[in-house]
Structures are given as structure tokens and as C-alpha cells.
Amino acid sequence: MPALRPDYLPKYSQPPLVEVVLGVQFEKIRDWSSLDAGGVRETFSSEFQGYEEHPPLEPRFETFGGLRPAPPKLQLKLAPPVIKPRLWLTSADGTHLLQIQHDRFVLNWRRTSDAMYPHFEGILPYFERYLASFEKYTSERFGQKLAMTQCDLTYVNIIETNSLSEGSKYLKLIPNMIDELESLKSTYSTVIENAEGEKHARLRTEVTSVFFEDGEKSGFQLDLSVMGAPEDEKTEAAIKFLCEAREKIVIEFEKLTTPFAEESWGKVK
């Protein structure tokens, strides 16, 4: 298991992060039914009072060596015979969201106006604790341990600027030769190999221009996401995957940002 924060990782006192998403996908729980909405809600009722139901996330699997290294498409054409909803459980302060369905478990941390970023090492223990509670529930109800197939970690950043043309002050990806930049969208991906040299995950980066709803300000949304297969189906392997994914994301973030941006966001090392 990697250290929660290796010494070589840069740290920022005020990063532009607005959302961090930790997720695992597992072999579906065959006997999962609508009754489990109540059981899951009860399991997390002390910390998550809000409840909603949403369409399920599709299963997806990272593959390599194909002709289309583009992100997997969401194929709503092929739907399971019975649609089982994704449950949303939200904390009272709005900072945490649990998303649970018969083959997914996801925790979102979201910045609210008064929330400080707790950093990955502050979020991961919550994810582990909630996942353990969920595993206890599934184990007792179905006699089935979760068998992890894919993991994903996503960091969503919003970089605020006075005009889109200012973007190159913060991000090396944004061209500085364009005077009146109206919009921008840029994506790329890289393949990650495990210790045995086997391709097992992919890092995706996307920069998109965005506007404030009030129309006064603009900025850029920078999404960094790692998804792939853990080394085995155990929970410990999934946690290890997420720790390694965090390192990849933070290192990529550092590569993409300018010294001006680092100073603005309080890079401490």
C-alpha cells in the first residue's frame, strides 16, 4: 500500500478543486432489488439524510490496443432487462454524496462555499469506512463479498479567470497566441502500466472553457481521471489502485500548471 501522501507529491494550500470522486465497480449483486434501497438508506442514515434515485451508471471496462483509444461511450442501447436505480445519499452539509447501485459504489466530495478541501488523505478514510459498511450490508444480506472489477478516481478543478484569454497564465495546455478566445475543449489520454508491464489503467485529461451563471466571469474546468482494473478483486487492491491513481493525477496536474498558477494556489512543495 503506498503512503497516503508520498514526500515527492506537490501540495497546494488552496487548490482549485471543486469535486473529487472515488469509485469502484464490482460484479453485480444478482439478487439486489428495490427493497435494498431501504436497507442501504438505513445503513448510512446517521450521516446521509438526503435521498434520491437516478438512472444507473453503465458498467464500463478499460481496454487497450484497440483502434479507438477514445473514452468508452455510454451505450444506452444495451440496457439490462430490469433497470435498477442508482441511489444518491447526501450529507446534510452537501459536501459528501454516496452513489450506490447493484454494481457500483461511489463517493463524491464536493466543495461548498464554506468547505475547505480536506485533501485525498482526508477523503480516503471516509471512502474506506463507507465501503466497509456497504460490504457488511451485502455480506449479511446476500452472503456475497464484493468482487472489484474496475476503480476510478476523478479530480474536477475550476480555474477562474477574468477572460478566457487569461487561461494560458494558469494552464500550459491553453494557447496564448489567441487574442479573443471564445471557447476551448481539449482532451487527451495516456495508458498506465502496472509493475508487470501490463496495461491496466488510463489517465484522461480534459480542459473545457466554462462561464459563471451570472455571465460576469469565465474560467476552465480541468478534469483529471484515472480508471482501470485493480490487481485483484479484493477491496485492499481497490484502495491501492485509488492511492496510485491519486499520485498520477497530482503529478499530471503539476505538469499542466504554470508557476503563476502554482503561486496562486499556494503550492507548498
Partner 1 sequence: MTQSSAVFSARSAASKFLPANQTSEAFVLERLIARNPSSDWVSELETRFRDFNNLAAGWDGYGGQPIDFHCARFTEQVLEQLSRSDLPAPSLVPLSNGTLQFEWHLNDFDLEVEVHGPLEMSCYRNDLLSGEEEERLLRADLLHLRKWLNDMAARN
Answer for the pair 135, 145: CB distance below 8 angstroms, yes or no.
yes
In this chain, which of 1, 8, 46, 78 binds partner 1, going by CB under 8 A? 78
In this chain, which of 14, 33, 45, 63 binds partner 1, going by CB under 8 A? 63
DSSP type of residue 262: H
Span 148-177, contacts to partner 1 by CB under 8 A: 149, 152, 154, 156, 158
95 to each of 107, 129, 232, how far by Cα in Å? 10, 16, 31
Region binding partner 1 by CB under 8 A among candidate stretches 4-12, 121-129, 195-203, 239-247: 195-203
For position 104 contacting partner 1 by CB under 8 A, the verdict is: yes
In this chain, which of 4, 9, 18, 37 binds partner 1, going by CB under 8 A? 18
Of residues 220 and 261, the one with the C-beta less far from partner 1 = 220
Angle at 126 between CA 121 and CA 130, to 5 degrees: 150
Answer for the pair 189, 205: CB distance below 8 angstroms, yes or no.
yes
Q: Which helix (H) or strand (E) holds 21?
A: strand 17-26
Region binding partner 1 by CB under 8 A among candidate stretches 4-12, 34-42, 55-63, 235-243: 55-63
Q: Which residues contact 265 (CB under 8 A, 6 or more apart)?
A: 12, 13, 14, 15, 16, 257
Give the shortest CB-139-to-partner 1 separation in angstroms. 20
For position 188 contacting partner 1 by CB under 8 A, the verdict is: no
Residue 223 identity: D
Span 202-261, contacts to partner 1 by CB under 8 A: 204, 206, 208-214, 219, 221, 223, 225, 227-229
Of residues 6 and 163, the one with the C-beta less far from partner 1 = 163
Closest listed residue to residue 226, CA positions, set 191, 255, 256 = 191
